[in-house]
């Protein structure tokens, strides 16, 4: 296992470090951070403050970060968060031989292709990003021609492989983890409220495969269009069946998030479905602040990286930028950190498939993960329960991977 967590120097006040980060943009495409590099806790005892990047040797690895900074609406907000987390990783990496080359994809396939082409012309050895699955294919085409690997932030497993690896949180793994835990606690009969979408299709396959594998039974699947009116009809139908003695349903999968999850939770409660009688199961989409305030979901389980692993990263990000990071921001941090660690090898040997798919994995701010030869990833996930005071870990994340990445 390779540790991607660095012994950090103490950060200056947020306003000061924010100015340092802005200033560093003048240097980031030319140089990497100075200072020492160590593995260990994200907080160390050093009181040395971060220094402005200094020019490194010609052997420094050039690492592209392709994100939709000027994308529309939420996409642009996510792009900015990814960029900020990547820059924070550069400061935290200290003296590693790495040069960060940020590029704006504009949130479009054409913009992503242009950004990748420009970065490759500047000699990057690995590409982090893009975010959107529609942009991964054009980026991969450009990178493949130069034999440069791509570590994308997309959750679409169909774009993985052939030089593309996914750093993202994959719903299929979250479902497998929570189903496995649920079955171990005595739940045998399962139902699902699944959205009608490519995401929903992937979720449904993973759900059915895992329930069958552990020895459970899928009793009912309700697929809804992603709107409240459709969801209400499906919930009413499922609730009527679930409350009958013959149903045998002891757990319901609800892989939804955001405002629609809040609405569906209220609908479930109105229809007499709560986790104190039928266990509700979720995915990482449940990993949002304040969700435990929804009484209908209390007692529900979902799989996610252990929040304790990420707490120090959140604190450092807040200190640097004066705001909390978006959940996805840690992917850019871990991606840049991984690139920094592997940069210790000689040029041409840093980002080979053998290096990237180290079976022992990497220990990042979201915990242990490893990239798989098929381009997907495996994460060591915890199972959390929503309680009145917040989410509590009820099954810790594994501390190491088994020899096989399956299951």
The domain that holds 316 is classified in CATH as: 3.40.50.2300
What residues have CB less than 8 Å from 38, skipping those under 6 apart?
6, 7, 44, 94
- Helices then strands, counting H and E runs in the chain, come out as 11, 16
Give the separation between CA 70 and CA 372, rounded to whole angstroms.
Answer: 31
Whether 113 and 205 map to the same domain: the answer is: no
In whole angstroms, give the CA distance from residue 105 to residue 80. Answer: 11
CB distance 393 to 383 below 8 Å? yes
144 three-class SS: helix
Q: Are residues 43 and 136 in the same domain?
A: yes
User: Considering the domain boundaries, does residue 403 fall inside one?
Assistant: no
Cβ(312)–Cβ(41) below 8 Å: yes
Regarding whether 39 and 160 lie in a shared domain, the answer is yes
Whether residue 337 lies inside any domain: the answer is: yes
Whether this prediction's pTM lies above 0.75 is answered by: yes
Six-digit token pair at 218? 């899928």
Quick check: 287 and 300 in contact, CB under 8 A? no
Tens digits of per-residue pLDDT, 255-314?
999 999 999 999 999 999 977 789 999 999 999 888 989 999 999 999 999 998 899 999
- For the four alpha carbons of 164, 168, 174 and 175, in that order, the dihedral sign comes to negative
In this structure, the answer to whether residues 78 and 190 fall within a common structural domain is: no
Secondary structure of 198-232 in the HEC alphabet?
HHHHHHHHHHHHHHHHHCCEEEEEEEECCCHHHHH
Domain residues for 150? Answer: 2-169+308-375
Tell me whether residue 400 is in a domain: no
Cβ-proximal residues to 273 (8 Å cutoff; 6+ apart), any chain: 235, 238, 239, 242, 243, 252, 280, 296
Backbone angles phi, psi at 170, to 5 degrees: -100, 125
Total domains in the fold of the chain: 2
The per-residue pLDDT for range 206-260, each reduced to its tens digit, is 999 999 999 999 999 999 999 999 999 999 999 999 988 789 999 999 999 999 9
pLDDT value at 349 more than 80: yes
Q: Render pLDDT for 71-126 as a digit per residue (tens, 0 to 9).
A: 999 999 999 999 999 999 998 887 567 999 999 999 999 999 999 999 999 999 99
275 and 222 co-located in one domain:
yes
């Amino acid at each position: 296992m390779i540790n991607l967590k660095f012994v950090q120097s103490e950060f200056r006040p947020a306003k000061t470090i924010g100015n340092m980060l802005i200033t560093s943009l003048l240097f980031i495409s030319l140089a990497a951070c100075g200072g020492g590099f160590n593995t260990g806790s994200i907080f160390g005892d050093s009181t040395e403050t971060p220094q402005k990047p200094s020019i490194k040797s010609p052997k420094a690895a050039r690492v592209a970060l392709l994100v939709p900074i000027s994308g529309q609406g939420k996409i642009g907000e996510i792009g900015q968060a990814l960029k900020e987390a990547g820059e924070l990783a550069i400061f935290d990496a200290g003296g590693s031989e790495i040069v960060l080359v940020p590029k704006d994809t504009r949130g479009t396939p054409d913009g992503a292709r242009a950004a990748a082409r420009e970065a490759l012309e500047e000699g990057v050895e690995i590409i982090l990003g893009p975010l959107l699955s529609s942009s991964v294919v054009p980026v991969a085409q450009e990178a493949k021609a130069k034999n440069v690997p791509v570590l994308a932030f997309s959750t679409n497993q169909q774009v993985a492989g052939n030089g593309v690896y996914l750093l993202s949180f994959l719903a299929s793994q979250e479902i497998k983890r929570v189903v496995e835990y649920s079955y171990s606690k005595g739940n045998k009969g399962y139902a699902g409220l699944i959205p009608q979408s490519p995401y929903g299709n992937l979720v449904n396959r993973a759900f059915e495969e895992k329930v069958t594998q552990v020895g459970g039974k899928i009793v009912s699947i309700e697929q809804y269009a992603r709107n409240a009116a459709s969801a209400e009809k499906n919930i009413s139908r499922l609730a009527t069946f679930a409350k009958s003695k013959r149903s045998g349903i002891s757990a319901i999968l609800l892989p939804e998030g955001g405002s629609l999850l809040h609405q569906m939770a209220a609908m479930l409660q109105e229809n007499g479905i709560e986790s104190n009688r039928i266990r509700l199961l979720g995915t990482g989409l449940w990993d949002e602040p304040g969700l435990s305030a929804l009484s209908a979901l209390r007692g529900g389980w979902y799989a996610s990286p252990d929040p304790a692993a990420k707490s120090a990263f959140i604190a450092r990000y807040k200190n640097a930028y004066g705001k909390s990071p978006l959940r996805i921001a840690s992917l850019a941090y871990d991606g840049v950190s991984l690139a920094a660690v592997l940069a210790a090898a000689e040029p041409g040997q840093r980002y080979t498939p053998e290096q990237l798919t180290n079976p022992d994995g990497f220990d990042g701010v979201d915990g242990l993960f490893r990239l798989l030869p098929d381009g997907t990833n495996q994460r060591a996930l915890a199972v959390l329960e929503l309680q009145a005071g917040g989410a509590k870990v009820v099954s810790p994340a594994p501390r190491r991977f088994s020899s096989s990445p399956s299951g």
